[in-house]
Copies of this chain bind each other. A is one copy, B any other.
Amino acid sequence: MEHTSGRHRDKVRASVADALAPLFDGARVMVGGFGLCGNAEALIAGVVAHGARDLHLISNNAGNLGKGLAQWLRAGIVKKVTCTYLGNNDDLHAARESGAVELEVIPQGTFVERIRAAGAGIPAFYTPTGVGTVVAEGKETRAFGGRTYLLEEALSADFALIRCHRADPFGNARFWRTARNFSPLMAMAAKTTIAEADELVALGAIDPDDVHLPGIFVHRVVEVREHEDPFEYRRVRARP
């Protein structure tokens, strides 16, 4: 009988470098965050330091303003990007135009549903989004109840790098406000999920009903207390 230890103990890593140790060249890496909101800042920087190359980055935006995942583009460690929106991410526009990076742009709802599907063991599903558009090119369509839908397949990854507000040693995690976005789904879809927690709390400190992401979907946890958390578009109104 084999008695290999499972992955669900001793998840807490002392350093970002330790947490990222299993990363490898050519890996498919999902990174949570909506633009710069909810980025695993230390893990993102740590990947550049790690030295892994030829990464397939799967993330909504791939950074902006030279920050976040734009660092990966500048470091030349990305061979392909699957995202939904470039916006003013000049590094991504430049990497695409130079041919340095292969770019795949897909609708955001399809993007996250494909990721959830991978995590949930659903190999493919039908969606109305993209029917009759360039997104449908080369894809199978099918009618259900008189409406046409596209067949979309699951999108998985080798690693997911996520940022959470609080995590416990099992990897149970909570997110703050709109920093949650894609992270819980990416955690489900990756073979190895590495969580960067603003605060590591004791087992039991998060009430069972208050866990946003159960630790079954998290494999490595590193506490990182300081974050830049840059504003992408800081808008305010005058106090009355």
Contact = CB atoms under 8 A, between A and B. Distances in A.
A239 interface: no
Interface stretch (A12-20, A37-45, A69-77, A114-122): A114-122
Interface stretch (A22-30, A123-131, A188-196): A123-131
A204 interface: no
Interface residues on A, range: 20 to 34
Q: Point out which of A128, A208, A209 has the most chain B C-beta atoms below 10 A from its C-beta.
A: A209
B209 A177 contact: yes
Interface stretch (A60-68, A89-97, A143-151, A229-237): A143-151
Given A174-B209, A175-B209, A209-B176, A120 B126 contact: no
A141 B209 CA distance: 37
Contacts of A102: none
A210 interface: yes
Interface string A174-188: 111100100000000
A18 B51 CA distance: 64
B122 A113 contact: yes
A212 B211 CA distance: 10
A153 interface: yes
Interface of A: 113, 117, 120-128, 142, 144-145, 147, 149, 153, 174-177, 180, 208-210, 212
28 contacts: A113-B120, A113-B122, A117-B125, A121-B127, A121-B128, A122-B125, A122-B126, A122-B127, A123-B126, A123-B128, A123-B144, A123-B145, A123-B147, A123-B149, A124-B125, A124-B126, A124-B142, A124-B144, A124-B149, A125-B125, A125-B126, A175-B209, A176-B209, A177-B208, A177-B209, A180-B209, A209-B212, A210-B210
